[in-house]
Amino acid sequence: MRLFRRSAPPQSAAGPDRPRTAGAPAPHLQICAHTDDDLYFMTPDLLHTVRAGLPVVTVYLTTGEADGINLAMDDPARKDAAPDYPGYTAARQHGIRAAYAAMATGSRRAPWTRETLTVRGGVSAEINTLDNGRITLVFLNLRTCAELPDDRIHHLWHEEIAELATLRPTGSPIPADHDGRPLTRDGVIGTLTDLLRTYRPAVVRVMNPDPARTAYDAATDTVTPCDNSDHTATALFSLAALAAYERESPYHRPVVESYAGYCNKLQPDNLSATAAAEKFHYLAVYGGEDGHDCLKKPGECGDRPLGNRAFNRYYGQSTTHRWRPSTTWLQPRGDGRLTAFAVLGGRPVHWTQTAPDSTAWTGPHPLGTWTDDDARCLARLETVRDREGRLHLFALSARVGPRREDHRRQVMHLRQTSPGGDFGTWENLGSPHDQHNPDRRRSLGMPVATVTSSGHPMVLVRNFGTGLSARNASAQGWGNWRDLGGGTLDGATAVTLRRGTTEIYATTRTGMLRWHQDRPGGPLQRDYATLLPRPAGSVTLLEQTDGRLLMLSR
C-alpha cells in the first residue's frame, strides 16, 4: 500500500520575497530549534531515513549560542573565557554537519557545499548540502543569547517583540553586512512556508507544541513546563507554517510527527541498547569528542559543552512521539475489504482496498467532513466498532496562536452512517478543561476508546491532573466528562470483554495502573497493585478465545 501516493502537483510561481533555491523534493523534513534537537529527539527515526537513502532537509531556527563559551562545562578555563557567540555558533553547525556526514557516508569529514539563501525580509540564511543534495541543512540563525533573555524565539511567537535578530556564524558564507538582520514573526512563518513549498515533503518532523509539566502552582494556576521554551515556540511556528502551506498545497499534504523534547526524561527508556548507543555516538560526533583527530582548533570541531557526555542527559534515553500512534488504524469493512485511516496535512483521510485480499487501494480520500478550518487534526486516529458494526473514530483537534487564550485542544468524534457505509461530519466532544486556563487545555493526551456493554463508545483522554477523563455515549447522546483519577503517562488503552466488563490499563512511572468493573455497566475501580512491569511504550489489549487478556507492548 502506497500511503504517500500523490497527484501531479501544480507549478507554483516564485514570489519576490521567497527563497530563491529550487531544491529537489525531499520526502522527510525536520524543523528544529537547535542543532542537536534532531539527534536527541528525532533519532533513531531520522537515522533510519538517512540510511534508507531518502533525501532529508533539516531546518534550524536558532543559533543556540547560549553563553558563547565553547568549553566543557567542567573545564576550569570557562571561568575566565570570553564569550564568542559567532564562534560557538559556527562550532555547533560544524558539529551537526559532521554528524550528518557520518550518518550518510560513514565519514564525518565528507565535503559540504555551503551557500546562502535569501529568505523573508531580505535576511540571508545559510544552506548546506551533502551527497549531491541528498542531505540539506538550513540555518536561519535567530539569536538565543544568554545575555539577551528578553529576546528569544518564544517572545517572537507570543508577539512580545516585533522582530528577532540573526547572527552570522564565524566563517559563514553569509555576507558580513547581513549580520544582525532581523526576522519578524510573519517572516519566520513565511520562510518556513516557503521551504515547505520548495521541498514538498511527505513527512515533516516537528518539536513538541504541548509539553508536559514538572510543577504546578495552585495559587496562581500556572505550570512549569518540562521542555525548553525554544522547542515549544519552534513547534508552534512549524504548525503555523504547515497550516499556511497545507491550505495552498492540497496535492502535497504531509504526514506530521511531533517529538517530545526534554519531556523524554519523564518517559520510560524505550530504546534498545544498540539504538541508544548509535544515538549517543552521533551526538558525540556532533560534540567533537568522538575520538577523531580535530583538524581545526579544538573549539571549532563541535559543541564542546556537550562533548561525548550526551548519555548523562536523561532526556536522551528515549525517543517519544507527542502524538502517539494508534494500533487501530487498519479495520475490516463488512464486505471483506480493509480500510486504512491516517492524517495527512492536518486532515483525516482513508484508503480502501479495491477488493478483498487485493494489493490495489483507492485513496487517500477525505474521512468525513472536518468543519473547523482553523484547527488541525493531530496525527492519531482511534477506531472502534459498535454493536451494530459501525465504525467510530476519535481524534484530537488543535488550534494555535500567539495568545494563551488562542489555544484549543478538543476531542473529535466521527461515526459511520451505517455498517460499511459512508462517514458523516466530525462532532466536537470538547475537553475536560474547556473552561479552564489554556495550559490545562494543552495538557490532553491522545484519545483512546472502547465500546462498552451498552453497545456505545466510551472515549478517554489523559487530563491535566495526569489521571484519565472519560465521556460515555448512549442512545440519548454523549454524557458529561468525568474524572477517573489516577496518575498516568500518555498511552492508555481500553477493552470491553465478552462478559461485558471494561478494563483500562495505563502506564505510570513505576508500572501499570488498571481500572476495572465488577459487573457490566458498573463503576470503574482503580487497581494500583497490578505488579505489572512498566512497558516501554503504549499497550494493546486483546481478549483471547479462552477469556484471558493478552497485553502487547514493547
CB neighbourhood size of 96 (10 A): 26
238: left (phi over 0), alpha (psi -120 to 50) or beta: alpha
Residue 34's identity, in one-letter code, is H
User: pLDDT in tens for each of the 554 residues of the chain?
Assistant: 333 333 333 333 333 344 434 445 568 999 999 999 999 999 999 999 999 999 999 999 999 999 999 999 999 999 999 999 999 999 999 999 999 999 999 999 999 999 999 999 999 999 999 988 899 999 999 999 888 888 899 999 999 999 999 999 999 999 999 999 999 999 999 999 999 999 999 999 999 999 999 999 989 888 899 999 999 999 999 999 999 999 988 778 999 999 999 999 888 889 999 999 999 999 999 999 998 988 877 678 899 999 888 887 788 999 999 999 899 999 999 889 999 999 999 999 999 999 999 999 999 999 999 999 999 999 999 999 999 999 999 999 999 999 989 999 999 999 999 998 999 999 999 999 977 778 888 999 999 999 999 999 999 999 999 999 999 999 999 999 999 999 888 889 999 999 999 999 999 888 999 999 999 999 999 998 888 988 888 899 999 999 999 999 88
Q: Which residues contact 360 (CB under 8 A, 6 or more apart)?
A: 353, 354
Which three-class secondary structure state does DSSP give residue 496?
strand
Are 147 and 97 members of one domain? yes
Are 187 and 217 members of one domain? yes
Are 218 and 293 members of one domain? yes
Residue 461 within any structural domain of the chain: yes
Which three-class secondary structure state does DSSP give residue 340?
strand
> What confidence score (pLDDT) does residue 439 get?
84
Q: How far apart are CA 257 and CA 204, in angstroms?
A: 6
Nearest-CA neighbor of 302 among 138, 98, 106, 74? 98
Domain boundary among 316, 347, 381: 316
Q: How far apart are CA 104 and CA 287, in angstroms?
A: 18
User: How remote is the C-alpha of 109 from its chain's centroid?
Assistant: 31
Are 304 and 380 members of one domain? no
- What are the CA-CA distances from residue 498 to residues 390, 452, 492, 548 (Å)? 18, 10, 20, 11
Are 341 and 269 members of one domain? no
> What confidence score (pLDDT) does residue 320 get?
94
Residue carrying C-alpha cell 482496498? 353
Q: pTM of the prediction?
A: 0.93
Read off the CATH number of the domain in which 87 is found.
3.40.50
- Name 550's bridge partners: 542
Domain boundary among 250, 285, 316: 316
Residue 23 within any structural domain of the chain: no
- Per-residue cell: 227: 521542555
CB neighbourhood size of 343 (10 A): 21
Q: Provide the domain count of the chain.
A: 2
CB-based burial label for 358 (10 Å; 0-12, 13-18, 19+): exposed
Are 486 and 521 members of one domain? yes
What is the phi/psi pair of residue 244, to 5°? -65, -45
Q: How far apart are CA 398 and CA 31, in angstroms?
A: 19
Is residue 424 within 8 A of residue 417, CB to CB? The reply is: yes
Are 228 and 340 members of one domain? no
Residue 17 within any structural domain of the chain: no
Q: How far apart are CA 21 and CA 338, in angstroms?
A: 42
Residue 322 within any structural domain of the chain: no
Are 309 and 347 members of one domain? no
Is residue 64 within 8 A of residue 144, CB to CB? The reply is: yes
- What are the CA-CA distances from residue 438 to residues 45, 185, 402 (Å)? 31, 21, 12
> What confidence score (pLDDT) does residue 111 get?
96
> How large is the angle between the packed helices 273-287 and 85-105, nearest 10 degrees?
140
What is the longest distance spanned by two Cα atoms in the chain? 75
Q: Looking at residue 324, what DSSP letter applies?
A: P
Read off the CATH number of the domain in which 397 is found.
2.120.10.10
The torsion angle over the Cα atoms of residues 60, 62, 66 and 72, rounded to 10 degrees, is 10
> What confidence score (pLDDT) does residue 298 get?
66
**What residue numbers bound the domain in which 40 lies?**
28-316
- Name 494's bridge partners: 504
Q: How far apart are CA 277 and CA 100, in angstroms?
A: 16
Nearest-CA neighbor of 173 among 108, 90, 100? 90
Strands 457-462 and 448-451: antiparallel
Q: How far apart are CA 352 and CA 360, in angstroms?
A: 9
**How far apart are the two ends of the chain, measured CA to CA in Å?**
25
Q: How far apart are CA 426 and CA 392, in angstroms?
A: 10
Residue 14 within any structural domain of the chain: no
Residue carrying C-alpha cell 514538572? 214
Are 282 and 351 members of one domain? no
Are 203 and 343 members of one domain? no
Q: How far apart are CA 374 and CA 363, in angstroms?
A: 24
- Per-residue cell: 528: 494500583
Are 414 and 451 members of one domain? yes
